[in-house]
Amino acid sequence: MSDTSVVDAELLTKYYGRTRGIEELSFRLEPGEVFGFLGPNGAGKSTTIRTMLDLIRPTSGRIRVFGLDPRADGPAVRARIGYVPGEFGLYERLTGREYLDTYASLRGGVDRGAIDELTDRLQVDPERRIRELSRGNKQKIGLVQAFMHRPDLLVLDEPTSGLDPLVQQTFFRLIEESRDRGATVFLCSHVLPEVERVCDRVAIIRAGRLVAVSDIGALKAAAVRRIELHLDRPVPPSAFSSLASVVSVEGHGDVLLITVRGPLDEVIKEAARHTVVNLTSHEPSLEEIFLDIYRDGGSTA
C-alpha cells in the first residue's frame, strides 16, 4: 500500500446477511484528485462510502482513510471528512442556521464566515425552518454542512440530486476550489455527465464489483456513441463501416444508425461527402459504457 493514499481499499467486501453489498473492491484515492464513483442505483456505491465513515463494517478486506482504520480511529478520520449521504434527514424543527451551528460545534467550531459564504453562494436562506425548505434547499444545507469545515476529503453520495442547474454549476465550482486547495473528492453518481464534468479518474461499479478504474479521458475515448444520420438519398452502409472508429452501421434507406468509438471526426468527414439533412448524436448511456467495457473484458489503469 501507499502511505500517501487518502483512501486505500483492499478487497473490500460487505455482505448484509446473505445479501451482496460489495465484493472485493480495491482502489486508491491519491491526494488532490477528484475521483468519480459511477454506477447504477444498488450497485454498492453507498455501501463503499459508509465503510469509510465507519457507519458499517466490512465483512472482509480492508479500508484505510488517511492511512488510518475508520473503526479504530473514527473521530480522527471523520474530523477530516465532509460527507453528504445519498438520502438524509435533517432536524426539521431547527432553522438552517441552528442546524449548521450545531454541526459546527459537533466539529469543534467552524468559521462563521465560511457558513455564510456557502449559504450565500448556494442561495439558501439559513433563517428559515428546515421543515419549510424544498428538497433542493435541504440538499443545499447538507452540502454546506459537508464543505463548511474545509475537509481534506469530501465524500459525496449523489450530491446534486434535487439541485437546479444553476446551483449545480456552483456546486461544481466548489468541488474545483476544494481540489485547488488540496482536498480530495470522492464523488458518487449514476449520471455520467456529472462525473465527466469534474472528475480526474472514474471507477465504475456494477452489481457490487469494480468493473473499471480509468482516467476520464480514456473512458470517454473508449465510450461508444450512437449517431443517427439523415441523408438526402440512400447511401450504402459500407461507406461508413470501413472507417476505423465505426463499430457498426445499420441502414434504413436514407437513415443510417452508426455506432462510433472515440472521436467523431472520421464519421463527420465521411458524412460531409453527402448531403446531410439531419444528424443526432446520443450521449453514450452508462449502460452502453458498461457493455462496452464488458466487451473489452476488464479494467484499464
Partner 1 sequence: MKAVLVRSLRELERAAIGWSVAVAGVALMYAAFYPSVRDSAANLQTYFDNLPDSIKSVIGGNYATPAGYLRSELFSSLGLILFLVFAIGAGSRAIAGEEEHRTLDLLLSTPVRRRTLVTDKALAITGVTLLLGTVVFVATTIAGPLFDLTVPASRLVGASLMLVLLTIAFGAIALAIGTATGRRTVGNAVAGGIAVVALIVNALAVSVPALAPVKPLSPFRWYLEPDPLVSPVRPVNVVVLLAIALAAYALAVVTFERRDLSA
Which residues lie near partner 1 (CB under 8 A)?
Answer: 16, 46, 50, 53-57, 74-76, 78-79, 81, 83, 85-91, 102-103, 105-108, 142, 145
63 Cβ neighbours under 8 A, 6+ residues apart: 7, 8, 9, 10, 12, 51, 52, 69, 70
Bridge-based pairing state of the strands 60-65 and 7-16: antiparallel
Indicate the residue among 156 and 195 with the shorter CB distance to partner 1.
156
Q: Please report how close the Cβ of residue 201 comes to partner 1 at its closest, in angstroms.
A: 24
Q: Please report how close the Cβ of residue 274 comes to partner 1 at its closest, in angstroms.
A: 53
Packing angle of the helix pair 165-180, 135-147 (nearest 10 deg): 10
Q: Please report how close the Cβ of residue 124 comes to partner 1 at its closest, in angstroms.
A: 16
Q: Please report how close the Cβ of residue 130 comes to partner 1 at its closest, in angstroms.
A: 11
Indicate the residue among 57 and 282 with the shorter CB distance to partner 1.
57
Return the C-alpha torsion angle 133, 84, 40, 169, nearest 10.
70
In the chain, what is the greatest distance between 2 CA atoms, to the nearest angstrom? 71
What region does 196 belong to: left with phi over 0, alpha with psi -120 to 50, or beta? alpha
Taking alpha carbons only, the member of 247, 263, 252 closest to residue 229 is: 252
User: 246: which 3 cell numbers?
Assistant: 465505426
Taking alpha carbons only, the member of 79, 80, 100, 78 closest to residue 31 is: 80
The 3-class secondary structure across 121-176, one letter per residue, is: HCCCCCCCEHHHCCHHHHHHHHHHHHHCCCCCEEEEECCCCCCCHHHHHHHHHHHH
Q: Please report how close the Cβ of residue 195 comes to partner 1 at its closest, in angstroms.
A: 22
Report phi then psi at 201, rounded to 5. -135, 160
Indicate the residue among 146 and 163 with the shorter CB distance to partner 1.
146
Determine the Cα–Cα distance for residues 50 and 85; give it in Å rounded to an integer.
Answer: 9
Q: Please report how close the Cβ of residue 78 comes to partner 1 at its closest, in angstroms.
A: 5
Q: Please report how close the Cβ of residue 153 comes to partner 1 at its closest, in angstroms.
A: 11
- Whole-number CA gyration radius for the chain: 22
Q: Please report how close the Cβ of residue 126 comes to partner 1 at its closest, in angstroms.
A: 17
Indicate the residue among 44 and 251 with the shorter CB distance to partner 1.
44
Indicate the residue among 36 and 44 with the shorter CB distance to partner 1.
44
Indicate the residue among 88 and 294 with the shorter CB distance to partner 1.
88
User: Which sign, positive or negative, has the C-alpha torsion 77, 159, 62, 59?
Assistant: positive
Indicate the residue among 1 and 106 with the shorter CB distance to partner 1.
106
Indicate the residue among 55 and 257 with the shorter CB distance to partner 1.
55
